[in-house]
Amino acid sequence: MSQGKVVVAMSGGVDSSVVAALLQQQGYQVSGMMLRLWSEPGREASNRCCTPESMAIARRVAGQLGIPFYAVNAQESFRNIVVQSFLDGYAAGGTPNPCLACNRQIRWEFLLERALALGADYLATGHYVRLQRQPGQPVRLFEAKDQHKDQSYVLHVLNQAKLKHALFPLGDMTKGKVRQIAADLNLPAATSKESQDLCFLAGQDYRDFLERHQPQLSQPGPITDRAGHKLGEHTGLAHYTIGQRKGLGIPAAQPLYVLAKDTANNTLVVGFEDELGGRSLLTGPVNWLSGAAPQTPFEAEVKIRYSARKAAGWVTPLPDGGAQVDFAQPLRDITPGQAAVFYVNGEVLGGGLIAQPSPQSHPANPLAIAVE
């Protein structure tokens, strides 16, 4: 008996191919879809998410499994939403994570819409996360069993309407097990190595990309300390990241670090190591996966970038829809534009983008320690 109809978001990679095979074995009626994403003209062949090679492999996997396979053109939406938010984020002085926008608006909106139009009950991906479904309860999202592969950080953007249709069959598996299944089934897989680079950069340095698309971020300007004293010249704000130490070209008794990028004044703000980061942060609007914000502050583990360790702290939902996070220990790489994601016992409760620091906005917090 069919378990229902499911569309698998395929990539030609081993994870999504194994997802398709597993769901078929479990009795689902499976179709494959693969997104065609945007690359700069002339660089399409290097977009690691959808090279002609990876699409050919996904097609071969589908052929081997005997499931329908459809390539879906999302180039314009990807350019308008994901790439634009990346450019806008940098222009605002932040360090955006475009995978968040892609998961929210391309995979789990554009593609989900097409899966549902095909009459599917579910959209499945090869993400390493776990779901818990109980009748009458919101669907709950948990970290993967294999912590090294956990991808729950980028899926904190999902809501109940999307989670209702989501399947993540790999959440309980290790990567090794997935590779083993692929080998046992003789599934073709891409030879290229997995990469953490942004797909649309297609192998180029993000600074070159920014230079072409946000040229104002490549204009030289002053380097100052927090007090505004000019210490030197920078070559363009796009060339620096928060916490960067090397390449500032300023002689100083102690090493200097990039503290902030003031895009309004094209100024790079630097300081000593102990000025980096802080003990608290504010987020923009939080996506609470259950659909409702908790009424009271709660203790949580908070992840402030994809590859960061979780850090213990208190999360206080704010009336404006954002949240304040106060960490038990100061963190040095709090980066505006990245997401802060809140976990309790391995469950993703919500998350929001880290806002630009503005000290006046949270003076009442007794735990916060002034950055300066």
Partner 1 sequence: MSARQWTYLDHAATTPLDPRVLQAMLPYFNEDYGNPASVHSYGQRAEAAVEAARANLAAQLHCAPHELVFTSGGTESNNLALRGAALAARQQRGARHLLVSPVEHDAVAKTARALAEQFDFELEWLPVDGFGRVDPADVARRLRPETALVSVILGNNEIGSLNPLAEIGAICRERGIPLHSDAVQAAAHLPIDAASLQVDLLTISAHKFYGPKGIGALYVRQGAPLLPQQIGGSHEEGRRAGTLNVPLIVGMAKALELIQNEMEEQGQRLRSLRDELIQGVLNAIPDAQLTGHPRERLANHASFVFEDVDGNALLMLLDDAGFACSSGSACKTANPEPSQVLLALGLTPQWALGSLRVTLGKDSTPEQVQALLSALPALVARARQLELA
Residue numbers at the binding site for partner 1 (CB under 8 A): 31, 34-36, 44, 52, 55, 59, 66-68, 70-77, 110, 113-114, 117-119
C-beta of 98: minimal distance to partner 1 in Å? 18
H-run or E-run covering 258: strand 257-262
> Is 49 one of the annotated active-site residues of the chain?
no
Query: CB-wise, 115 or 181, nearer to partner 1?
Result: 115
The active-site residue out of 49, 50, 99, 102 is 102
DSSP state, 365?
Answer: -
Query: CB-wise, 10 or 178, nearer to partner 1?
Result: 10
Asked whether 160 and 173 are in contact (CB, 8 A), the reply is no
Distance CA(344)–CA(303), nearest Å, equals 11
- Length of the chain measured in residues: 372
C-beta of 50: minimal distance to partner 1 in Å? 8
C-beta of 71: minimal distance to partner 1 in Å? 3
> Is 199 one of the annotated active-site residues of the chain?
yes
Query: CB-wise, 66 or 136, nearer to partner 1?
Result: 66
C-beta of 46: minimal distance to partner 1 in Å? 14
Query: CB-wise, 63 or 291, nearer to partner 1?
Result: 63
How many other C-beta atoms can be found within 10 angstroms of the C-beta atom of residue 269? 22
DSSP state, 141?
Answer: E
Asked whether 222 and 95 are in contact (CB, 8 A), the reply is no
Question: What burial class does residue 133 get, using C-beta atoms within 10 Å of its C-beta: 0-12 exposed, 13-18 middle, 19+ buried?
Answer: exposed
Distance CA(358)–CA(313), nearest Å, equals 20
Q: What CA dihedral angle connects 90, 321, 144 and 30, to 10 degrees?
A: -90
Q: Which residues are catalytic?
A: 102, 199
